Structure 1
Amino acid sequence: MKIIVTGSLGNISKPLTKELVEKGHDVTVISSNAERQTEIESLGAKAAIGTMEDIDFLSESFAGADIIYAMEALNAGVFFNHEIDFIQANIQIAKNYKEAIERSGVKNIIHLSSIGAHTNEGNGILKFHYEAEKVLNELPENVSIKFMRPVGFYYNMFAFIPTIKSQNVIIQNYGGDDQEPWVSPFDIASVIAEEIEKPFNGREIRYVASEEISPNEIAKILGEAIGNPDLQWITISDEDLLNNLIKAGMNPDTAKGFVEMNMARRSNVLYEDYYKNRPEMGNIKVKDFAKNFATAYYKN
């Protein structure tokens, strides 16, 4: 099949591209970075260089495809850009995808959404996923869409490294012994590859998770991996976390969204629909990820 992969060679798109090529699919990877072209081609895929803001480019790239894997991808630096509304920027990308899909005539879409996309209230920065799904659901009924809703990514834990190094603790506005789901991008890629080869039928939702584990267990595993078995996860107030993020230079509205997202972790808002539709766990666990965490910890 001819498959379009958005997201360049990111944490999900790269392993997804590798798996799809190995299975014999004709894969084109969309990237805004021309320097990625050689690496994309080295994987056996084609490169289409352009941006998610360019609807003409997207329409031309999508034309003739059997399936499109679509994700909203803004680099992490956007969090610190005080001129960009992160939520609205992502919603606009979804609108661009919608128009390009309509122009191209592609009928099968896999969209990377997120846990929290079941509601537009109380989920903080994840609200844009609800809005993006809403936009894509406006496509004609003959366009089938599979919405993938992964939980929190393991690699988000790399953000713990600075405070571990400076204060010897993990600091968040949530914590404790209650288990919550996390996921490896490799497990997400595997699930997407699996869904690509299954029939498309209307609108479907699938949650993706690798392990359910508590913050205190995570601190223990990461601490042992970096040679700090006494590493603690401590909880601070929402206000203190917000002030810390703003002090670090994050866009205040984006920072507020992050704090609200974590508040939703403490309540049942974030996970209520996930637990109603609990998936099978993936293969990669926090103990596996901890090896990469330790490498990054000692590299920085």
Structure 2
Amino acid sequence: MYVITGATGHTGHIIAEELLAAGKKVKAVVRNATKGAALAEKGAQLAVGDLEDAAFLKETFKGAEAVYLMVPPKWNITDWRAYQREIIQNFVDALQESGVKYAVVLSSMGAHMPTGAGPVSGLYDLEQALKTVEGLNVLNLRAGYFMENFFGNIGLIKAAGIQGYTLNADLKVPLVHTHDIAEVAVKYFLTLDFEGHSYVFVAGAADYTMTEATAILSDAVGKPFHYVQFSPEDARAGMIGAGLPETIADGYNELFAGLNSGEYLNGYERDTANTTPTTFEDFAKKEFSVAFNAVS
């Protein structure tokens, strides 16, 4: 049996559906049974609960051969790293008690950084903590920057004709679609051929600068807009003004500072093994433009 956390999320639902299609038994971890109904109809067993509930996770992991682990975002918190560490400890306790043998983990490029990468440094904690679970084989998927993150800029583009982060405009960043990440996870789940503790980069089809990515999005929607590199102070004020807690705003600033420094992508080099099919151009035309035009 495979236990999939975040089973209604971008990566989790694809993993669950494809494992079911392959004839595997799947337990889908969801917070809301209604949202998990589509998976249940396809044969998944639903485990309805919260990852912050340690007893729930221990019960859910019983009898599993393999699990998909991801720490979901939570927007109403005061300490992002503390929240991540709570989930991580619950994972470790449940894995130790259940004797699960395999885990595929949604991690990130930059997860080698114990500090200086914002929320991604929390994934350093996750990778390190899983090493304490005896007998567990772990494959960490160190993914690039999600293409879907650009959806969050639609309001700014509509209002001001700009797209912006604190990222250097000429910094090449691997942009990956979450569907591609899920496909990599499924490949490893179907073989379970990994041992010990390892990681693979999941890098999308190409690396892009923010200037290049903005031009591709602008062309796809047929509206001219350009990239602006914000100061950390302006970015923080904008995020807090948009309703994000200070801990999350500070975390994103730290993450982008890590990227700008070069340390975040240290060790990453594009090759055929970490390159995945979905191009940013396809995402822009087929998904971003649709979302953009749906906003008045």
2:34 matches 1:41: no
Unaligned runs of 5+ in 1: none
Alignment of 1:1-300 (within 5 A): 2-75=1-74, 78=75, 81=76, 83-140=77-134, 142-196=135-189, 197-210=191-204, 211-228=206-223, 230-275=224-269, 279-290=273-284, 291-300=286-295
| Letter matched to residue 214 of structure 2 | A
| Letter matched to residue 16 of structure 2 | T
Tell me the CA shift for residue 247 of structure 1: 2.2
The answer to whether the Cα contact below 8 Å between 2:104 and 2:139 also exists between their aligned partners in 1 is: yes
Give me the whole-angstrom Cα distance separating, in 1, the residues matched to 2:113 and 2:32: 33
Give me the whole-angstrom Cα distance separating, in 2, the residues matched to 1:91 and 1:121: 14
The answer to whether the Cα contact below 8 Å between 2:109 and 2:201 also exists between their aligned partners in 1 is: yes
Tell me the CA shift for residue 246 of structure 1: 2.0
Give me the whole-angstrom Cα distance separating, in 2, the residues matched to 1:143 and 1:50: 24
TM-score normalised to structure 1 length: 0.92
Tell me the CA shift for residue 277 of structure 1: 8.5
- Aligned-residue sequence identity (percent) comes to 28
User: Residue 243 of structure 2: SS of its match in structure 1?
Assistant: coil
Question: CA, structure 1 residues 136+277, in 2 after alignment: closer, same or farther (shift >3 Å)?
Answer: farther
User: Residue 84 of structure 1: SS of its match in structure 2?
Assistant: coil
Tell me the CA shift for residue 249 of structure 1: 2.4
| Letter matched to residue 60 of structure 1 | E
| Letter matched to residue 166 of structure 1 | A
| Letter matched to residue 294 of structure 2 | K
The answer to whether the Cα contact below 8 Å between 2:26 and 2:45 also exists between their aligned partners in 1 is: yes
Give me the whole-angstrom Cα distance separating, in 2, the residues matched to 1:177 and 1:219: 12
| Letter matched to residue 130 of structure 2 | L
Tell me the CA shift for residue 278 of structure 1: 8.4
Aligned length: 292
Tell me the CA shift for residue 279 of structure 1: 4.5
Give me the whole-angstrom Cα distance separating, in 2, the residues matched to 1:31 and 1:99: 19
Give me the whole-angstrom Cα distance separating, in 2, the residues matched to 1:277 and 1:134: 26
Question: CA, structure 1 residues 67+84, in 2 after alignment: closer, same or farther (shift >3 Å)?
Answer: same
The answer to whether the Cα contact below 8 Å between 1:174 and 1:235 also exists between their aligned partners in 2 is: yes
Give me the whole-angstrom Cα distance separating, in 1, the residues matched to 2:5 and 2:195: 22
Q: Residues 178-229 of structure 1: CA distance to partner in whole angstroms, max 9, x if unpaired?
A: 321011111101100111114131111111111211211111111111111x
Q: Which moved more, 1:209-218 or 1:173-182?
A: 173-182
Give me the whole-angstrom Cα distance separating, in 1, the residues matched to 2:230 and 2:57: 44
Question: CA, structure 1 residues 272+18, in 2 after alignment: closer, same or farther (shift >3 Å)?
Answer: same
**How big is the alpha-carbon RMSD for the aligned residues of Structure 1 and Structure 2?**
1.7
Q: Residues 16-74 of structure 1: CA distance to partner in whole angstroms, max 9, x if unpaired?
A: 11211121111111101121232121233221111112222212221111111111113
